[in-house]
Amino acid sequence: MFVNRFANEHRLKWHFIPPITPHFSGLWESYVKFFNHHFKRVVGDSLFTFEQLNTFIIKVEDILNSRLITSVSSDPYDLLALIPAHCLIGKSITSLPEDNLLSVPDNRLSTWQHILKAARLLSAMEPTVSKRTAETF
């Protein structure tokens, strides 16, 4: 009764997602179903600490966000297929973290690290260069 009164006072409208309808976020519902199914199968009646449960949920999230959205391209230069993680963070979740080489002195870097540092500096400068080019021309 309290929920109905609150919803009426705040003019809330309920929108339900029909199952198995991609145009109504049914794909999202299928991910929830996938998570629940595998969570119950793996966990069962086990008891976890907060850290163990958090780690498990993060691993399942990694798996879900690493599933393919598109088919793998036959183009040999197209090395990556689109996955949800690309939309969320711009790269694969399971990729290794990159070292911050910008604060390391140049005499302490290997040749490969110099190349990586230069590439990161160029990518950091790209928006300003593009803006200047657009303003000039």
Q: What mean pLDDT, rounded, does the chain reach? A: 75
Please report the pLDDT score of residue 7 as a whole number.
Answer: 82
Residue 117 CB: number of other CB atoms within 10 A?
Answer: 17
Q: In this predicted structure, what is the pLDDT of residue 109?
A: 80
pLDDT in tens, 96-107: 566 777 778 888
Domain boundaries, the chain: 50-126
Quickly count: other Cβ atoms within 10 Å of residue 83's Cβ.
19
| C-beta of residue 79 within 8 angstroms of C-beta of residue 71 | no
Q: What is the pTM of this model?
A: 0.46
pLDDT value at position 75?
A: 76
Contact present, 67 and 84 (Cβ < 8 Å): yes
pLDDT at 26: 63
Average pLDDT over residues 78-103: 71
Q: Which residue has the higher pLDDT, 24 or 66?
A: 66
State the average pLDDT over residues 106-128: 75
- C-alpha torsion sign, points 63, 66, 68, 73: negative
Q: Inter-axis angle of helices 26-43 and 50-64, to 10 degrees? A: 140
Q: Worst-scoring range by mean pLDDT, 5-14, 53-62, 74-83? A: 74-83
For residue 99, give both structure tokens.
Answer: 């070292």
- Which of residues 48 and 92 earns the better pLDDT score? 48
In the numeric block, which tokens belong to residue 103? Answer: 């604060």
Give the model's confidence band at 9: pLDDT under 50 very low, under 70 low, under 90 confident, else very high.
confident
Q: Is 24 exposed, middle or buried (0-12, 13-18, 19+ CB in 10 A)?
A: middle
Residue 85's CB is within 10 A of a number of other CB atoms, namely 20
| Residue type at position 27 | L
